[in-house]
Amino acid sequence: MEQDINIKITDRDGVTHEVLAPTDMAMNLMEVVRSYELAPEGTIGICGGMAMCASCQCYVLSDTELPEMQDDEEAMLSEAFYVKDNSRLGCQIQMTPEMEGLEVELAPES
Amino acid sequence: MIKTDILIIGAGPTGLFTVFEAGLLKLKCHLIDALPKAGGQCSEIYPKKPIYDIPAYPEILAGDLTHKLLEQCKQFEPGFTLGERAETIDKQKDGTFIVTTSKGTKHHAPVVTIAGGLGSFEPRKPLIDNLVEYEDKGVEYIIKEPEFYRNKKVVIAGGGDSALDWSIFLSDVASEVTLIHRRNEFRGHLDSVEKVQELKNAGKINLITPAEVIGVEGNGKIEAITVKQDAKTFTKQCDHFIPLFGLSPKLGPIADWGLEIEKNAIKVNNALDYQTNIPGIYAIGDVNTYPGKLKLILCGFHEATLMCQSAYQIINPGKKYVLKYTTVIGVDGFDGTRKEAPKAVVKKIE
């Protein structure tokens, strides 16, 4: 399907998964992780995707251009643990065709 | 010992609606919740956020939904054990259950319904090496009794609403309040942020930003914290350190109750009545799983309704009942109130 993009997600056990993510279903990265069950239910996307819990924190490994961080994401990350310079909240990254080749790693559960 | 017909674990929307549906069947409910107030995630995580998929509500704030559910079930006089986590369950010889909470409160009921959402909310603890050693020795993650802090030196860490609100509140109680956050910006209601600014200007709150607490020290009890601000590190004396970094749900002790668990949720019989593998224990709402499960509030309401019909049969074996409509029969509260549709007007036309 032409709207699908290839992305690589490294789960919390260090296993890297190559998955196809739809870009036409308003899905964000956190939801892609959940749809492929790459993190146990109840450990990711706890707030549903409102940038209010940081359970979907991930580290961006590729130099893919991503949407700019909004205030709420930045504020939530400032209260989260295990934060690095390349931390983002998966729920704030909507899948778009430009993100082909995106590589991320899920941050530890906290 | 608290006695009831249906003991509900979890006072979120699904648990609250269970009270109403059970009440229609003349069954009394009691709810246990680890949080100090009803509403579950709706109250704890997103009370000011709108929900758009509650039937007949084009838009409703999560906090308002909680209030309406409480109002709807009020006449059935639910009991509450709040701020206590359900820890153990013991099946009695007669098939009834005794559930004991973290504070030792015992509850006895013939039917137990777990409506625990994603689990009980546990504080998220900052990654400070010896923090655990000082828990309840000056380190607290939840403020239960503000008076506890009277005339004490308190340090609060965090950048959200609870950190802001408690700093404001304790500025009148404690001898000294210090608020530490990693950034200069706070994530909270505008009026709370402005109030903290005001109290800082008035010298009633010490604000240390952008900074982080990286260590705690003491002697049997906390005496000081270590703060890292930019390149410098310094020590600050305190009697209490309260990290407020939000709460994260954990299935917790329920996972050890002998229930079949799959994907962090409790497996139920969705073809029938949302009963678990242990007869008499049901699981409804976000906490359960079955093929095709959707974690939606409206699905929790449906599951609660079916569950109550099944619980009626356990509590009243063999007793006949048919589903009745509230519009037809009205609602008789346990508090003596009655709601009913006005009678049709019968009047002659001449």
Domains of chain A: 5-106 (3.10.20.30)
Distance in angstroms (rounded) separating the CA atoms of residues B168 and B160:
13
Residue B39 lies in a domain: yes
**Final residue of a domain: which of B230, B245, B260?**
B245
> Residues 6 or more apart from A102 whose CB is under 8 A from it?
A5, A7, A8, A29, A60, A62, A64, A66
Strands B29-33 and B240-243: unpaired
Using CB atoms, which residue from A42, A78, A110 is nearest to B124? A110
Q: How far is CA A103 from the centre of its chain?
A: 10
A78 and B183 within 8 Å at the Cβ level: the answer is yes
Distance in angstroms (rounded) separating the CA atoms of residues B195 and A53:
24
Share of residues in chain B with pLDDT > 70 (%): 100
Q: Please check whether residue A41 touches B, CB under 8 A.
A: yes
Same domain, B228 and B291: no
Q: Tell the residue number behind the tokens 């607290």, with chain if given.
A: B140
Q: What is the pLDDT of residues B143-195, one digit of tens each?
A: 878 999 999 999 999 998 889 999 999 999 999 999 999 999 988 888 999 99
Cα separation of the two ends of chain A? 36
Instruction: Categorize the per-residue pLDDT at A52 as very low, low, confident or very high, splitting at 50, 70 and 90.
Output: confident
Same domain, B114 and B52: yes
Identify the pLDDT of residue B9: 98
Q: Please check whether residue A84 touches B, CB under 8 A.
A: no
Same domain, B259 and B110: yes
Identify the pLDDT of residue B15: 98
Identify the pLDDT of residue B87: 96
Domain encompassing residue B167: 125-245
> Residues 6 or more apart from B26 whose CB is under 8 A from it?
none
Average pLDDT, chain A: 93
Please tell me the distance in Å from A62's CA to the nearest CA on chain B: 27
Same domain, B117 and B260: yes
Domain count, chain B: 2
Residue B345 lies in a domain: no
pLDDT at residue A1 tops 70: no
Same domain, B239 and B217: yes
Same domain, B190 and B220: yes
Domain containing B154 — which CATH number? 3.50.50.60
Distance in angstroms (rounded) separating the CA atoms of residues B48 and B98:
36
Same domain, B142 and B184: yes
Same domain, B74 and B9: yes
**Final residue of a domain: which of B221, B245, B269?**
B245
Q: What residues in A contact B49, CB-CB < 8 Å?
A: 50
Q: What is the pLDDT of residues B297-343, one digit of tens each?
A: 999 999 999 999 999 999 999 999 988 899 999 999 999 999 998 88
Please tell me the distance in Å from A49's CA to the nearest CA on chain B: 11
Cβ distance A30 to A53 under 8 Å? no
Q: Which of B214, B245, B248, B294 to mutate to test the interface with A (most CBs of A within 10 A)?
A: B248
Same domain, B115 and B7: yes
Q: Please check whether residue A108 touches B, CB under 8 A.
A: no
Same domain, B23 and B109: yes
Average pLDDT, chain B: 94
Q: What residues in A contact B119, CB-CB < 8 Å?
A: 42
pLDDT at residue B251 tops 70: yes
Residue B346 lies in a domain: no
- Reported pTM: 0.82
Q: How far is CA B81 from CA A101, B34, B118, B149, B327, in A?
A: 51, 8, 19, 25, 32
Share of residues in chain A with pLDDT > 90 (%): 79
Residue B152 lies in a domain: yes
Distance in angstroms (rounded) separating the CA atoms of residues A91 and A57:
8
User: Which chain B residue has the Cα nearest residue A38?
Assistant: B263
Same domain, B228 and B179: yes
Q: How far is CA B239 from CA B139, B169, B288, in A?
A: 9, 17, 43
pLDDT at residue A23 tops 80: yes
